Amino acid sequence: MNILMGLDLIKEIREYTDEVLLDEYAFNYQISFALGLRTLGERYFAPRTLYEFRARLYHYSIEHPKEADLIYAQFEKLTDHFIAVAGLNTDEARVDSTQIMSNIKSAGRLSLAYDVLVQAIKALPESLMTDSLKVFLKPDYKTHFLYQLKKQDTLSRIQNLIDHGAEILEQLEKHPKLKSTTEIQLLERFLSEQAVYNPKENRWLAKGAQEISPKSLQSAYDADATYRNKNGKKHVAYALNLSETCTDENPIQMVTHYDLAPNTTNDIELLQRAIPNLSEQGIKDIYTDGGYYSLELTKEAQSQGITLHYTDMTGRKTSSEKLPYSEHLVFEDYNKDGNYDFAIGQPVKNSPEFQYVLFSINPAGTVYNVPVVGYKEDGFVYSAEDKQDFLY
């Protein structure tokens, strides 16, 4: 399992096709060494092993969304061990989110589409098999189709299979008896669940992964296998939230926490879910961007001994001809009123110094001036300790 998971990580990092990946595993000592093997050829396996592993991982993650955290449990054990060995300081961490898992899930979807199509082709009489369909019955074609593939080509391959499936159903309009076979009915079901008909293009188009029902077909060999809906929640793990140590004194930095969630989950919720775990790790300061800002989250983190620092705010892209505000924003609760404050500065004419104005943001999202009583040595603004009327 470690080797197979490691290979998929290497594939994503290097952007290998499966064919290249397996060649590198067999003949590249650096790849072998990275996977914990010290001798080339120490462990060989058939390409289908990798394919089956992905398919099983895909089905398991969908059918057992909570139990899938067994992988995370192993991650925690290894992380704790590496932190102790390296003597890392975990007081400070940075948090950010990204998208992940789509390629693993697409690979599972691709193999499903291939198996459904091949079964349907085998159910056709020879007279209805076109040359474009016969090629799928060649013994080595599946390996070529599934493994000589870059990740950005996965969706186009799925669409190719859907096109061939639609071609079969169109041919069978004049053969109602054939349409009643199990293989063709399975193809019809797959097409209706995985694609949508576009009348303008007169074509079935692949749905986005998020549009596919949890009850959709999961196996070409078991029509009753479906996504498992536990506690009324339907999970498609696409959003990845990461926490990494960032203390300057550390010789290396390490990812200490990750969280997978549906891609509709916002950053605030992702960080809220992570706070208890990060608190247990002894983290005292978290640095993240403005997409995570929430007054409630800030207070919740403080209650668990963590201070959140926002280094950027969300918004439209800044102009290259203007000085970005984000270059001069430091978010702190200067006057201790529970709202985050920030200073906006501009250069003083004929002087190397900056002139600053202090603002604050309340829970309603209103930005207002904060009264100023003085300046720090580094140029940032002090605000009044006592509550005063705001300028506007």
Contact 284, 92 (CB under 8 A): yes
Q: Do strands 372-375 and 381-383 pair parallel, antiparallel, or not at all (unpaired)?
A: antiparallel
| Residue where the block lists tokens 């449990």 | 73
Tens digit of each residue's pLDDT (9 = 90 or more) over 325-361: 445 466 778 778 888 888 776 555 565 555 667 788 8
- Take residue 48 and report the two structure tokens written for it: 């289908």
Q: What is the reported pLDDT for 38?
A: 87
Q: 313: closest CA among 293, 337, 339?
A: 293
Entry pTM = 0.46
In the sheet with 285-288, reading across from the earlier edge strand, the strands are 255-262, 237-245, 92-99, 285-288, 307-310
**DSSP-derived secondary structure for 250-296:** -SS--EEEEEEEETT--HHHHHHHHHHHHHHTT--EEEE-GGG--HH
Contact 340, 333 (CB under 8 A): yes
Q: Do strands 285-288 and 340-347 pair parallel, antiparallel, or not at all (unpaired)?
A: unpaired
Query: How many separate domains does the chain show?
Result: 3
Report the alpha-carbon distance of residue 95 to residue 268 in Å, rounded. Answer: 11
- Determine the structural domain holding residue 346 and report its residue range: 325-383
| Residue where the block lists tokens 């140590």 | 245
Confidence at 257, pLDDT banded by 50, 70, 90 = very high
Q: What is the reported pLDDT for 273?
A: 92
- Residue where a domain terminates, one of 229, 248, 272: 229
Report the alpha-carbon distance of residue 148 to residue 157 in Å, rounded. Answer: 11
The answer on 211 and 68 residing in a single domain is: yes
pLDDT of 161 > 90? The answer is yes
Residues facing 332 on adjacent strands: 341
The answer on 222 and 133 residing in a single domain is: yes
The answer on 212 and 184 residing in a single domain is: yes
The answer on 120 and 211 residing in a single domain is: yes
The answer on 118 and 26 residing in a single domain is: no
Confidence at 122, pLDDT banded by 50, 70, 90 = very high
